[in-house]
Chains A and B, each alone.
Chain A
């Protein structure tokens, strides 16, 4: 199993380690007494919503795409427009196969006119590296897997930017989906105002061998005991946080057999981008146009508010009027809403918010639920600061 550069940090903070996509990762922590004790998935979740959490996301793949045709290459790979990205900007995009199915969802960083960084899911890293090689054709571009040479952490929560403002004036002024490269001593950090929790915060990419120094800087002055502003948070709460925020996860809401248009991620697809002046069609575009022109995909991704206390599970069948109309893709007991929630693909004619449905648990008990729009949770806007 692969280990991240933060392995020792996890062990020192009471992590329970599990295998995830070939990596040994913390699913949750038993927080040490010096940061207040406790921990576990729900407490970590609430810590992120209330104050701040620190996630090791070094398992995510980081691929540098560089060369004279890097921009054109990524236009071909990504469903979303790349050409109008400014240096210092990030964009969320899908990567499709030729049938319009989703190979992965990625975050593209524009480092320079002809240099990008693409952050991909851990489980898809090797598949995408091969896909990139196979899709180059005669374009002049090099793809370098930077995953092992770098670490990546996410610091998320309403108090995170305040804390960062103690050592950086610039980072808190970043707009959402912007990043900055910072040099501290001999350490180069790439800090972006992005995340996968529904909260404000940053993601930081840094050299693997600088992790110790970077952690000291990033986690300086976080307080102690119950007052600790930022506590370590595992993959368990990362999943429940992203569910509340209505964000899809590859292998659940996204997959090679799921039409990209069904995901509802319309903002991440520019089906007309080949019409631009320097436009380029993307792989899967023709298939998606066909689906669109035929009236759209037959299924839609929806949220379900489940009655009672029991949690639905992925792959459970959703029924209405005795008919199978969909399938649950993810579900949890929402720590913020204090009720079970689920995401599901449902036939478009049943996807209207307010529709009552039944979830078949495969046992005697059935769960009743109501279709609702995504997301389940939006972070409150920070109060305007008095000057």
Chain B
């Protein structure tokens, strides 16, 4: 399965989907495969200001606890609250239902330097 073409990807395995001035962010299928079953996601609060490279939360799996980072700065305007009761959406549909946070970006230029889907999949095949 290839990673969606409408997202930009980091080497730390986050995807960023820009729509208007809002970036939706989650972790990739590759990350999910590495982590195995996700058991918990702890996300920063709505209203948190983040800079590029800041953590937006942590995901826990059977194997490990991992920080998740944003490549863009801005304000977290929404978090995926369904995950606190049932984080399995991250496993089952990491690119859509398993999204983590939405960030209103002040500057989306940082996305330009990230990988597109085909480059990411070539570098991190699942």
Interface residues on B, range: 10 to 19
Residues on B with C-beta less than 8 A from A309 are 39-40
Which residue of A16, A236, A310, A361 contacts B62 across the interface (Cβ within 8 Å)?
A236
Interface residues on A, range: 10 to 19
Which residue of A42, A236, A310, A361 contacts B63 across the interface (Cβ within 8 Å)?
A236
Query: In the complex, are the beta carbons of B37 and A236 less than 8 A apart?
Result: yes
- Distance of A309 Cα from B91 Cα, bound (Å): 17
Query: In the complex, are the beta carbons of A333 and B40 less than 8 A apart?
Result: yes
Main secondary structure of the interface of A (DSSP, over half): mixed
| A28 sits at the interface (CB 8 A) | yes
Q: Which residue of B lies closest to A30 (CB)?
A: B33
| A313 sits at the interface (CB 8 A) | yes
Residues on B with C-beta less than 8 A from A311 are 39-40, 60, 65
Query: In the complex, are the beta carbons of B40 and A28 less than 8 A apart?
Result: no
- Distance of A41 Cα from B33 Cα, bound (Å): 11
- Distance of A310 Cα from B66 Cα, bound (Å): 12
Query: In the complex, are the beta carbons of A41 and B62 less than 8 A apart?
Result: yes
Which residue of A27, A236, A310 contacts B60 across the interface (Cβ within 8 Å)?
A310
- A236-B63, A310-B60, A333-B62 are known contacts. Are A40 and B36 too (CB-CB below 8 A)? yes
Q: Which residue of B lies closest to A309 (CB)?
A: B40
Q: Which residue of B lies closest to A27 (CB)?
A: B36
| B42 sits at the interface (CB 8 A) | yes
Query: In the complex, are the beta carbons of A40 and B37 less than 8 A apart?
Result: yes
Contact with A along B59-97 (1 / 0, CB 8 A): 010111100000000000000000000000001000000
Residues on A with C-beta less than 8 A from B39 are 42, 309, 311, 333
| A240 sits at the interface (CB 8 A) | yes
How many whole Å from A313's CB to the nearest CB in chain B? Answer: 6
Residues on A with C-beta less than 8 A from B60 are 310-311, 333
| A332 sits at the interface (CB 8 A) | yes
Residues on A with C-beta less than 8 A from B40 are 309-311, 333
Residues on A with C-beta less than 8 A from B62 are 41-42, 236, 239-240, 332-333
- Distance of A313 Cα from B60 Cα, bound (Å): 10
Q: Which residue of B lies closest to A28 (CB)?
A: B36
Query: In the complex, are the beta carbons of A236 and B64 less than 8 A apart?
Result: no
Residues on B with C-beta less than 8 A from A313 are 64-65
Q: Which residue of B lies closest to A16 (CB)?
A: B33
- Distance of A301 Cα from B63 Cα, bound (Å): 22
Residues on B with C-beta less than 8 A from A333 are 39-40, 60, 62
Which residue of B33, B37, B64 contacts A42 across the interface (Cβ within 8 Å)?
B37
Chain B residues with a Cβ under 8 A of chain A: 33, 36-37, 39-40, 42, 60, 62-65, 91
21 pairs across A/B with beta carbons < 8 Å? A16-B36, A27-B36, A28-B36, A28-B37, A40-B37, A41-B36, A41-B37, A42-B37, A236-B62, A309-B40, A310-B40, A310-B60, A310-B65, A311-B39, A311-B40, A311-B60, A311-B65, A313-B65, A332-B62, A333-B40, A333-B60
Chain A residues with a Cβ under 8 A of chain B: 16, 27-28, 40-42, 236, 239-240, 309-311, 313, 332-333, 361
